[in-house]
């Protein structure tokens, strides 16, 4: 049996082809490509509109989305909205603040601005410890700004499997596409 921290026998999923993914649509709002090795679940985060996991490969994925207007209204009311930043940057900072409540962030990359299927986005990586979990966790997080909503795509795995899953997690994020955004 291979232990959770055994990196000698880990399989690199970077050679996965298009046939190894399936497209998932959420409420006709957005679609994203998910690896076939992951299955749908509901136990990762109650706020998430999409949740997938592979316990065997220790790979997890969720998407949280919320209306930009509601996000901005709440954070302005809390006096935590920075007018010097974009809505996307404010959302990123708010979500990272929430994540920091449950993790000890050991390394956080600088956010990289990008565009995903015509939408403004930012990506970053975090290595963190979570109370009760012996191994360090690596997060791949992408924030996307739609016309009416903001989205956080969060994928994670054990740090020892980070390189094995990195290309797959990046491919998932880059496949995000709006179908018809709600108002």
pLDDT, one tens digit per residue, over 54-66 is: 999 999 999 999 9
Contact 120, 111 (CB under 8 A): no
Q: Give the pLDDT of residue 132.
A: 87
Of all residues in the chain, the percent with pLDDT exceeding 70 is 89
The residue behind tokens 């880059």 is: 174
Domain 19-160+172-178 = CATH 3.50.40.10? no
d(CA 43, CA 84): 36
Domain ranges of the chain: 19-160+172-178
| pTM of structure | 0.88
Pick the closest to residue 34 from 179, 172, 154 (CA basis). 172
Please, what is the average pLDDT of the chain?
90
Report the pLDDT value the prediction gives residue 14, as an integer from 0 to 100.
Answer: 54
Locate 3 and state its tokens.
């232990």
Residue with tokens 């290309």: 167
Contacts of 62 (CB under 8 A, 6+ apart): 44, 45, 48, 50, 51, 52, 153, 154
Predicted confidence band of residue 2 (pLDDT cuts 50, 70, 90): very low
């Amino acid at each position: 049996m291979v232990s959770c921290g055994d990196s000698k026998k880990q399989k690199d999923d970077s050679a996965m082809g298009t046939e190894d993914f399936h497209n998932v649509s959420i409420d006709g709002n957005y679609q994203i490509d998910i690896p076939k090795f992951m299955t749908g679940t509901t136990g990762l985060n109650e706020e998430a509109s999409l949740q997938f996991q592979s316990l065997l490969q220790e790979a997890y994925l969720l998407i949280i989305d919320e209306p930009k207007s509601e996000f901005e209204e709440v954070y302005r009311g809390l006096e935590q909205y920075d007018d010097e930043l974009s809505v996307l940057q404010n959302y990123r900072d708010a979500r990272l603040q929430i994540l920091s409540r449950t993790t000890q962030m050991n390394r956080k990359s600088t956010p990289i601005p990008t565009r995903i299927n015509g939408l403004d986005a930012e990506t970053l990586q975090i290595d963190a410890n979570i109370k009760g979990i012996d191994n360090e966790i690596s997060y791949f997080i992408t924030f996307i700004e739609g016309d009416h909503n903001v989205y956080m795509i969060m994928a994670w795995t054990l740090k020892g499997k980070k390189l094995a899953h990195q290309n797959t997690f990046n491919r998932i994020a880059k496949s995000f596409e709006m179908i018809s955004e709600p108002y």
